[in-house]
Structure 1
Amino acid sequence: MKKVGLLGGTFNPPHNGHLMMANEVLHALDLDEVRFMPNALPPHKFARHDASDVERLEMVKRAISPYPHFSVESYEVEKGGVSYSYKTLTSLCIREPNVKFYFIIGGDMIDSLHTWYCIDELVKLVQFVGVKRPGTEALTEYPILMVEAPQIDLSSTLIRERLATGGTVTFLLPETVETFIREEGLYGTRTVLGGD
């Protein structure tokens, strides 16, 4: 049976912290691949400088392109609307019955699992993987595989703020993603390309 990790998020934009987390879980659990699964952004939450679903998918593709064990799962973006993990993962399990899915979450999300929609059914459907900083504890009543991984304190919000104010994002996200952001003028960036 194929072992596939799923890392969900807005990826607005995807950054090196996402790549590092996926890589740590891939190797710790000997997975066949990790799929990055962007959530659909509801129109009412779409800010003027946010990236569209299509742009976020493109950024994820660019971020993971050098890594053969990473791929994109576009199910939630294609479906659109509000995404519930239970409904998404049920659909993926039906679509791919010969895959064991490992749903990757950050250590900060473990404490709130009891609030997730249909969590009791969800933990029977997929294997949850919690990624935590070495030396920290994460207590939960749910069956979660814990992976200790070095983590950097990095967020997409910080990157968007730096881009909007002309700050540096070097080493925070892949260069291919930064190039795309500047070419498309995302997050308030302005770029003059070329010149005569």
Structure 2
Amino acid sequence: MSAETPVQSAGRFTRLRLRFRDWRGTRPFWAGLFTLLGGLPIAYFPYATLKLGTMSLAMSTTAGAGSLIIGVLLVTLGLTMWFQQATRVFAGIASILLALVSLVVSNIGGFIIGFLLALIGGALALSWAPGKPTAEGAAPKGAGPAPTTDGAPEPAPGAVAGEPDLPRSWNEPAEGGAPYGDGAKEPNGVHRVG
């Protein structure tokens, strides 16, 4: 095998992992996951009967139906963030609002766990933005100037080759030969007194 062997010859697990990574990179994956996981404790705790040794603890309240609705809506919003990226802003705002409502309706937001997860998921959905595809052969954003054939970077536009692009200091001579600090005129006609 060589370094240029296509991914098709890789194992099945590797192909599935790479496909999942590509799928995950084109959508607000973590926002959807946090929102989905935030809905589970909110919907579960009002209907759960917890056993502590021989003692059973039931959390069922009159707000059980409201908790179930909020939990199911949060799970649905998490799935919407994954499969309908265009609605991510609406889903993010709705999940933040539902998380805040769950504090009052659903046992302090599923014992704060569901509240925090849904709140973080909604915030991540609002902050996510789809990436812009780069053209073939284009330099990535933030990359410096392309190197020349001798390995040195190209000079900036308007710069003299071989000289560093530095600002003028006060002690350099002006066009007339006198330094700026000696009361000479700058090139734009302003007098400087140093």
Q: TM-score, normalised to structure 2's length?
A: 0.24
Query: Which structure: larger Rg?
Result: 2
Q: Which has the higher helix share?
A: 2
Q: TM-score, normalised to structure 1's length?
A: 0.23
Q: Which has the higher strand share?
A: 1
